[in-house]
Amino acid sequence: MTAVLLRRREGAESLARRFDALFEGVFGASGLDDEEVDWTPRLDLYETEGTVIARVELPGLTLAAINVHLDGDVLVISGERHEGEAAGERLLRAETPRGRFCRRLPLGRLPLDLAGVSARFTNGVLEIRLPPAKNGR
């Protein structure tokens, strides 16, 4: 088991990167992209009867603002949230993250049917279903 030292002024992004690093031994590379991102959406990963289900919280975004693709054996979810001010509004407080985001989920060690991947975007949650390979790989 690896101990994780937390520094007092460490932000949530850095903490997320440390936790992802802990899981690299099981799932491969980190779930965070190495490129510069402004925020990281929350992601839950489930498994049921061999199907891997990824649910990503993306409230306030439209489907057009989200990109999902495979980069080799890595599922990449990226996009951008722009400023939300309407004409005549002046932002007084901003707690909603804005800017670019990216999550990368390595799939190489999982026996999945990548041709059978499906996705839906409902109420700000992107759900991606990755079914198991019919022959075990």
CB 17 within 8 A of CB 97: no
Residue 80 has pLDDT above 90, yes or no: yes
CB 126 within 8 A of CB 66: yes
pLDDT at 12: 53
pLDDT at 119: 95
pLDDT at 100: 95
Q: What's the CATH fold of domain 31-83+99-137? A: Immunoglobulin-like (2.60.40)
- Tell me the two tokens of residue 24: 């690299």
Measure the CA–CA gap between 53 and 118, rounded to whole angstroms.
10
Number of Cα atoms under 13 Å in the Cβ half of residue 47 = 6
Q: Give the H or E element holding residue 14.
A: helix 12-22
Selected residue with higher pLDDT from 136 and 101: 101
Measure the CA–CA gap between 56 and 103, rounded to whole angstroms.
9
pLDDT at 17: 56
Give tens-digit pLDDT for 2-41: 444 444 444 555 555 555 554 444 444 444 445 578 999 9
pLDDT band at 76 (very low <50, low <70, confident <90, very high): very high
Selected residue with higher pLDDT from 118 and 85: 118
- Tell me the two tokens of residue 76: 């990449």
Give tens-digit pLDDT for 45-72: 999 988 999 999 999 899 999 999 988 8
CB 20 within 8 A of CB 31: yes
Beta partners for 120?
127
Residues above pLDDT 70, as percent of the chain: 72
Say which residues have a Cβ less than 8 Å from residue 126's Cβ, sequence separation at least 6: 54, 55, 56, 58, 66, 68, 77, 119, 120
